[in-house]
Chains A and B, each alone.
Chain A
Amino acid sequence: MDNRVPRKPVIFCAVATALLVLADLLPYHHEGPHLPSLYIGISFIGCGALILLAIIIGWLVGRREDFYER
């Protein structure tokens, strides 16, 4: 399995995210108090944390596929 980062989806997502940041700077109306790009921040931090956790779990309790068959 090749482990490279696929280029096209990454570019697409990056551009779209950038556009969303810009959209948040526009004066559209949020309900209640709102930090610009709050959701983008949550998404990055939250998902980043999840990935880290998953890797740690994999390192702690990851076993070979045939673990139970042996």
Chain B
Amino acid sequence: MSVDLLLSPGFIIIGAAVLLCLPTARWRKIVVGVAPLLALLRLWALPTGSHGTVAVATFNLDLLHVTATGRLFASAFLLAVWLGGMFAAASASRRELISAYVYAGSAISVTLCGDLITLFLFWEAMAVTSAVVIWSARTRAAWSAGMRYLLIHLFGGVILLAGIALWYSTGGSLQLGVLQRPSLGYWLIMAGFLVNTGAPPLSFWIADAYPQASPTGMVFLAAFTTKTAVYVLISYFAGADILIPIGLYMAIYGALYALREDNVRRILAYSIVNQVGFMVAAVGIGGEMAINGATAHAFAHIMYKTVLLMGAGSVMLSTGEQRGSALGGLARRMPWTSACVLIGAAASMGVPLTSSFVTKSLILEAAAEHHLSMVWLTLIICSAAVVFNAGVRFPYLTLFQPQQSEAVEHGHDPGTLSRVAMMLTAAICLLVGLFPGYFYTLLPYPSNYHPYNVAHILEQLQLLLPAALLFFISLPLTTPVGQIQLDTDWLLRRPLLAMWHNGIMRLLALGLRSRDYAVASLVRGYTLLFHYHGPRGILARSWPTGSIALWVALMLVSYVILFTLRSMDMATFIKLYLHG
């Protein structure tokens, strides 16, 4: 069983990260192409409900606990790391690939673990490794964005840990399952989870940090953190009403901030918040159909966001540009990329025959079923507003608008492996949309929803086409150049930053002093070690035979005394040896 545990899908990916240390690029490509598939096979070989626990101290760490929801999330993650890895293999640095793999492995382990402690451990591992992915872009901006990102996530981790501790100390169970009985611990755990979804008031971190990653790095980043958060919300907070307004806020926030954004990868980042908002709201609605919807939409979203980011990544790799106001005119130069991006964009809007059409409608249907008319209306408007970010605005600005600068002259499709990865991802977006019946059987609950009927198709088009019309008409109004919109991060980055800097300088001085001290004591310790353990030291040199024999006698005496002492108490010992 212990060896079985080590072969859980998450550990396979983390193990593959070790293999990625190999110096040859060819071997790395093979690992990237094969390891996630092995893990995927392994995942589906594990029946649902299979368990694997390791006892550490008084806790049983449930390292492996396969649920239907977790399995679908883990599958999406494995596909994302497989396709993302193949896309990245040619251009990404080794550090980026390795950290992305550990990051993905931790995310997968979160979806396949059975208790809060294990979850927390992998949660923190995700935070650190994803920050390394961001830093792998090796720019100054990436460095400070990664730092901000890490701080926010460590902060979230602290809240989560405090929540878990409180929850456990007030008699709550740490096992996987929906938490009942709201208490302070309950709210803290939820808050810790929500930080990772990009919930208010910290919604800014996604758009702040992700676009600073390398063109390939963001492909990985977009897939895991927010979606694991959705998974844990499903597992622990299904049906918590408070999540509905939070989700709606996120959906509107994402749509609004993306609307006038210029940086195309930031547009996609805001679109992540927008879509995760749908999922969070669905979790809040609760009920079988809503949970199905959240799960299915997370899967679909991972796939189409991956293909869109691959498109953005290819553009950025070949042109070095990610401002919408400097792109355009690339459709002919990058035909494959354009085709895949079109499929991904269609999937993001929920055009019939694509994935999101069959997944997002589950969420909307669930809202209607629970007679939450305002929720339904907001979600409908936000799904029409996808046109303004990932759906039409992103492909139009990036590829199809008239050429805006010379940078695009260098635009070309990426290499074969990357292109194959992009096409496979696009194919998955289509397959889910084409065969919804089969896809629904993978969901946690049985579903008899049929997305394809004339009414539904017409409604969807009626929603999207007017929005597209509005988008094109309002284009002159929504193109700000060289402008950003402030967010709550202003608070962190202005007044708090100043305080922080002060503190850092003090800490730095302290660190320098303690480093000097540590080095000095290390040297002293080594000398001491060498004195005793070195070849001439007392513990290593050959001893004269006589003195060894003396040791033997000493050992004998001490053993006799110790045996006697341990087998009776001191008083009887003294009595026995003194008075015969």
Contact surface of A with B, Cβ cutoff 8 Å: 1-6, 9-10, 13-14, 16-17, 20, 23-24, 28-31, 37, 39-40, 42-44, 46-51, 53-55, 57-58, 61-65, 67-68
Contacts and interface: CB of A to CB of B under 8 A. Distances in A.
Interface of B: 252, 255-257, 259-260, 325, 377, 380-381, 384-385, 387-388, 396, 401-402, 404, 454-455, 458-459, 461-487, 493
Contact of B256 (A6, A20, A57, A62): A57
B478 A46 contact: no
A47 B380 CA distance: 10
Nearest to A3: B476
**Lowest 3 A-B CB distances belong to which pairs?**
A46-B381, A54-B259, A13-B469
A53 to B, nearest CB: 6
Given A57-B256, A65-B483, A39 B459 contact: yes
B472 A50 contact: no
Given A20-B462, A62-B483, A65-B482, A1 B325 contact: yes
A40 B463 CA distance: 6
Contacts of A16: 461, 465
22 contacts: A1-B481, A3-B475, A3-B476, A3-B479, A6-B402, A10-B473, A17-B466, A20-B458, A28-B455, A29-B454, A42-B380, A46-B377, A46-B380, A47-B384, A51-B259, A57-B257, A57-B260, A58-B480, A61-B487, A62-B480, A64-B482, A64-B484
B465 A20 contact: yes
Contact of A1 (B380, B458, B479): B479
A10 B381 CA distance: 21
Q: Is the interface of A mostly helix, strand, loop or mixed?
A: helix
Contacts of A3: 475-476, 479
A5 B475 contact: yes
A47 B381 contact: yes
Contacts of B260: 54-55, 57-58, 62
Given A28-B455, A65-B483, A46 B476 contact: no
B295 to A, nearest CB: 25
A43 B480 contact: no
A50 B475 contact: no
B377 A50 contact: no
Contacts of B256: 50, 53-54, 57
A37 to B, nearest CB: 7
Contact of A20 (B380, B461, B480): B461
Contact of A24 (B257, B462, B469): B462
Contacts of B478: 51, 54-55
Contacts of B493: 68
Contacts of B458: 20, 23-24, 28
B338 to A, nearest CB: 15
Given A3-B476, A6-B402, 19 more contacts: A3-B475, A5-B473, A13-B472, A14-B469, A20-B465, A24-B462, A39-B459, A40-B462, A42-B381, A43-B465, A46-B385, A47-B385, A50-B255, A50-B388, A51-B478, A53-B256, A57-B256, A64-B482, A65-B484
A30 B462 CA distance: 14
A56 B454 CA distance: 38
B475 A6 contact: yes
Contacts of A14: 469
A62 B472 contact: no
A23 B461 CA distance: 11
Contacts of A1: 325, 404, 479, 481
Contact of A43 (B325, B467, B483, B485): B467
By CB atoms of chain A within 10 A, which of B465, B473, B493 has the most? Answer: B465
